[in-house]
Amino acid sequence: DAGVIQSPRHEVTEMGQEVTLRCKPISGHNSLFWYRQTMMRGLELLIYFNNNVPIDDSGMPEDRFSAKMPNASFSTLKIQPSEPRDSAVYFCASSFRAGMETQYFGPGTRLLVL
Amino acid sequence: DQQVKQNSPSLSVQEGRISILNCDYTNSMFDYFLWYKKYPAEGPTFLISISSIKDKNEDGRFTVFLNKSAKHLSLHIVPSQPGDSAVYFCAAREGNQFYFGTGTSLTVIP
């Protein structure tokens, strides 16, 4: 398996623009997680899905952030409008089921909002 | 508020010596603890874990110790190798959620 795939790997955009991050989980995994990594807070869970259904989005910072999982093999994290403080590395991870000891992370998307 | 804390942002160790990475947590409901390793431009990868019912788990050069009374977790790497240079994240589980620390950057000096 190719592992968790994320795109783009890098994104530079201007404040106010819409940003869409994409994730393809490992085939057969039923849970998908979106994390944000910053120096100050480390890895923060934004939202996770179980069987394509959002279970907990309490980590989503604001209404500007939204996430979807239309099918078992694809998820998006959208920021609209983007702000400079959204600059971070965004990771997608998947596991066979939520709460499994091991989550498999993608390589991340490094976002810079100017 | 951070429920999982790694108070040392960086650590340097000579090759062959022991590396000790520390992690503190505040939530007594955590039932599982993990360490992840992250190289630049890659996602974190699972390294080792320990259940809250144990106080030690060993896997080759890596040993994790859990002190529940102190709410303290540590990762020992011995002997340290240059390839161990990476950022190490401590994580803890409550229910279906994992909480991560801010990471410690380990540099092993040849």
**pLDDT, tens digit, for every residue of A72-108?**
999 999 999 999 999 999 999 999 977 776 899 999 9
Whether residues B102 and A42 touch (CB distance < 8 A) is answered with: yes
What's the gap in Å between the CA of B12 and the closest CA on chain A? Answer: 19
- What's the pLDDT score for residue B64? 98
Instruction: For residue A63, give every residue at least 6 positions away whose Cβ sits within 8 Å of its Cβ, in sequence order, or none.
Output: none
Nearest to A99 among B45, B93, B101 (CB): B93
Q: Tell me the C-alpha to C-alpha distance, in Å, between residue B102 and each of A3, B9, B22, B24, B35.
A: 24, 8, 12, 11, 12
Secondary structure letter of residue A26 according to DSSP: P
- Write the pLDDT tens digit of every residue in A10-57: 999 999 999 999 999 999 999 999 999 988 888 999 999 999 999 988
Whether residues B41 and A48 touch (CB distance < 8 A) is answered with: no
When pLDDT is cut at 50, 70 and 90, the band that residue B103 belongs to is: very high
Per-chain mean pLDDT for chain B: 95
- What's the pLDDT score for residue A18? 97
Residue B97 has pLDDT above 90, yes or no: no
Residue B75 carries which side chain, given as an amino acid letter? L
How far apart, in whole angstroms, are the C-alpha atoms of residue B49 and residue B62?
10
- What's the pLDDT score for residue B30? 95
Whether residues B44 and A91 touch (CB distance < 8 A) is answered with: yes
- What's the pLDDT score for residue A1? 63
How far apart, in whole angstroms, are the C-alpha atoms of residue A49 and residue A29?
11
Residue B60 has pLDDT above 90, yes or no: yes
